[in-house]
């Protein structure tokens, strides 16, 4: 069985309110990743214009969350009613990845792949 999320949203999108969960998530411009096999840690900066959001009136996940999504660790999260839900407008995003720690082989020898 496939998996899907269903949202019923309020009619018009708005800019997220200052200090809101929506603002934190949509304006969270930094990410971090590690490649232990290369002893490398990355800092990734994401750049994009501010996104408007539609607040969900109703949100529901249907299907088997253990496949092919994230594994057994998050099954309970997907099966319960969400604390909040929204749909972000989205746009093109620029990513700038930088090595912040390296102990081992030259990390430029292989591509940065987020899995």
Per-residue pLDDT of the chain (115 residues; tens, 9 = 90+): 567 888 899 889 999 999 999 999 998 888 888 877 777 888 889 999 999 999 999 988 887 776 655 667 677 787 788 888 999 999 999 999 888 766 655 545 444 444 3
The DSSP output letter for 80 is S
pTM, entire model: 0.65
The DSSP output letter for 29 is -
- 54: helix, strand or coil: strand
Task: Classify residue 20 by burial, with Cβ atoms within 10 Å: 0-12, 13-18, 19+.
Answer: middle
- 59: helix, strand or coil: strand
Rg (CA), the chain: 18
């Amino acid at each position: 069985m496939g998996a899907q999320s269903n949202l019923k949203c309020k009619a018009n999108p708005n800019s997220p309110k200052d200090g809101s969960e929506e603002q934190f998530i949509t304006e969270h411009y930094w990410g971090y990743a590690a490649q232990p096999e290369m002893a490398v840690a990355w800092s990734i900066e994401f750049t994009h214009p501010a996104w408007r959001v539609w607040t969900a009136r109703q949100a529901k996940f249907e299907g088997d969350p253990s496949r092919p999504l994230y594994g057994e660790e998050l099954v309970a999260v997907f099966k319960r009613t969400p604390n909040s839900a929204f749909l972000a407008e989205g746009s093109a995003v620029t990513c700038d990845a930088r090595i912040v720690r390296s102990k081992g082989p030259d990390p430029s020898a292989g591509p940065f792949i987020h899995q």
